[in-house]
């Protein structure tokens, strides 16, 4: 419950960067849902107006509609003012691992269309090096599962097929996810990101390098801001 409170604090701090009239990217996962709810409350209270949002998953879309956030698409708004999303790992230089919520493909699409990306997290997500706390998700088309698995092994990973209730987890785009574990973390994330994307069958990976401008991290000592101020 304490961790959930930290997630809420980080999310509610981050949404203060949103202004009326903006197009907002809404992330996916247990931390991002607090940002969706906080934004919905600001709209209901009248403190914000004429906001439209683009969700990164069907689950986020349902929650946004529940709290009264008008939704739009990238076709209608190809440029997003502010994106807010969680992360599974955050380094001091704001490199991230994302995707344990299963929406890494849409999350990266939204992030790259965003003028300003704010990542939110509780303090347990801070790491000195990527890959030491969370696995790296790699989204793969089902047809290429075994060849991509073997290729990831050749890169030093231990890939594990993500499952839910005994069945392979299927993303909103109909793909599977291989969660890649590294015994000593990822020594060269940029090299690994480039190497993974070279393999046919790989759709996307969860390395978000140099994409976040601000991190809002909540913990026992309060709110910590990394990168640009809100």
Active site residues: 107
What is the rounded CA–CA span in Å between residue 36 and residue 98?
18
CA–CA dist 96, 137 (Å, integer): 12
Angle at 83 between CA 211 and CA 188, to 5 degrees: 20
SS3 category, 193: helix
**Is the distance from CB of 23 to CB of 53 less than 8 angstroms?**
yes
> Do 211 and 117 contact (CB within 8 A), yes or no?
yes
Distances (CA, A) of 24 to 35, 83, 98, 192: 11, 6, 19, 30
CA pair distance 122, 218, nearest whole angstrom? 5
Give buried/exposed letters for 151-172 (b at 16+ CB in 10 A, else e).
bbeeeebebeebeeeeeeeebe
């Amino acid at each position: 419950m304490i961790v959930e409170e930290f997630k809420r604090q980080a999310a509610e701090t981050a949404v203060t960067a949103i202004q009326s009239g903006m197009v907002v990217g809404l992330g996916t996962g247990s931390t991002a849902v607090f940002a969706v709810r906080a934004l919905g409350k600001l709209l209901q209270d009248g403190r914000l107006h004429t906001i439209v949002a683009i969700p990164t998953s069907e689950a986020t879309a349902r929650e946004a509609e529940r709290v009264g956030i008008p939704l739009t698409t990238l076709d209608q708004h190809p440029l997003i003012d502010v994106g807010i999303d969680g992360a599974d790992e955050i380094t001091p230089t704001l490199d991230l691992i994302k995707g344990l919520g299963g929406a890494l493909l849409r999350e990266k699409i939204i992030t790259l269309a965003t003028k300003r990306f704010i990542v939110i997290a509780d303090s347990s997500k801070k790491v000195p090096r990527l890959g030491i706390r969370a696995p790296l998700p790699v989204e793969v088309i089902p047809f290429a599962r075994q060849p991509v698995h073997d290729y990831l092994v050749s890169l030093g990973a231990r890939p594990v097929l993500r499952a839910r209730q005994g069945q392979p987890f299927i993303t909103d785009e109909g793909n599977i996810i291989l969660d890649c574990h590294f015994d000593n973390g990822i020594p060269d994330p940029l090299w690994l990101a480039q190497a993974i994307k070279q393999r046919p069958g790989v759709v996307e990976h969860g390395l978000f390098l140099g994409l976040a401008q601000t991190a809002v991290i909540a913990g026992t000592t309060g709110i910590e801001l990394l990168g640009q101020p809100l």
